[in-house]
Amino acid sequence: MLANLRVWLNHFEYHAEQPRGARSGATSGLRAEERRLIARSIATFQLGEQSDGTGLLRAAYRFALAHGDELLPRITELFIREEQRHARLLREFMDEHRIRAKCHHWTDAAFRRVRGLAGFELYLHVLITAELIGNVYYRALESVTGCERLKALCRTLIADELAHIGYESELILELRARRPAALRPLIRLLHRALFGAAACAVWISHRAILRRAGHSGTGFLRTCLEQYAFHLEPPAGWSGAAAESRRR
Ligand SMILES: [Fe+2]
Ligand SMILES: [Fe+2]
């Protein structure tokens, strides 16, 4: 059984009742030039946040059944609701500024295809990839806009995603520790390769905003990889129990 699921259930239940950024009160003030810069990019991220979560929930149920992690489906439901809220918040902002929503983008299609390939553990790897890179992007977006409402929205998303990253990284590292020692470096290598490819794809599609925020292509990749290392390459001797004591 996975450690700390009760703690995460409490976390997600609390934030379902007290969602972050619900009363930001920030005023909208998106200039026409900013709108041109961000419109297509933000619509792509809005599409990425949007999912009915059926595949993930099914994978969580299967995993829970196989491993006796009975809290996992409920946590996953609340997690999906939080992501759907992100999509809703971005959509509201887009509607206010007459930014058209997207129903297809190649990066989103690629993420969905990989996600659908296998079970819960692979889902976690794909989700954390999108969230780690997404957080570097939302920080960039926050820094390039003068619109207080968009800044507040970015900060809300970043705070929620940081918690998601904490949750997923803990699960990933715990599950990885159960794998044979000889296999772990290969899993890490494959995930880093997927992660690097995803960061490059995000750079290609969103480079206008990222450049405005001061990133070069290699600088963006480096920042993403630093985030990856911080959350997914803990010092030797790390364990799930260590994660628990870190949080106390
Ligand atoms: Fe999200
Ligand atoms: Fe997330």
Q: What is the DSSP string of 8-66?
A: HHHHHHHHHHS-TTTT--PPP---HHHHHHHHHHHHHHHHHH----HHHHHHHHHHHHH
CA of 161 to the centre of ligand 2 (A): 5
Using CA atoms, how far apart are residues 31 and 14, in angstroms rounded to an integer?
Answer: 36
Measured in angstroms, how far is the CA atom of residue 131 from the centroid of ligand 1? 7
Residues with CB under 5 A from ligand 1 (ion): 49, 83, 86
Number of Cβ within 10 Å of residue 146's Cβ equals 10
pTM of the model: 0.91
Per-residue pLDDT band for 246 (boundaries 50, 70, 90) equals very low
CA of 119 to the centre of ligand 2 (A): 18
∠ CA 238-131-102 to the nearest 5 degrees?
A: 165
Q: Lowest mean pLDDT: which of 21-25, 48-52, 205-209, 218-222? A: 21-25
Alpha helices in 97-214 (DSSP H): 106-115, 120-144, 148-177, 184-212
Does position 167 have pLDDT exceeding 50, yes or no? yes
Give the separation between CA 153 and CA 101, rounded to whole angstroms.
Answer: 17
The pair of structure tokens assigned to 67 is 């491993």
pLDDT at residue 26 greater than cutoff 90:
no
Q: Read out DSSP for 185-244?
A: HHHHHHHHHHHHHHHHHHHHHHHHHHHHTT--HHHHHHHHHHHHHHHHSPPTT--HHHHH
Contact yes or no for 244/173 (Cβ under 8 A): no
CA of 19 to the centre of ligand 1 (A): 13
CA distance 172 to 188: 10
Residue with tokens 């489906």, as numbered in its chain = 73
Instruction: From residue 108, give the alpha-carbon distance in Å to each of 4, 83, 115.
Output: 31, 15, 11
Mean confidence (pLDDT) of the chain: 91
Question: Residue 225: what pLDDT?
Answer: 98
Q: What is the separation of C-alpha 68 from the centre of its chain, rounded to a whole number of angstroms? A: 26
119-157 confidence digits (pLDDT tens) = 899 999 999 999 999 999 999 999 999 999 999 999 999
Q: How far, in Å, is the centroid of ligand 1 from the Cα of 212?
A: 23
Q: What is the pLDDT of residue 245?
A: 46
Ligand nearest to the CA of 51: 1
- For residue 61, pLDDT over 50 is answered with yes
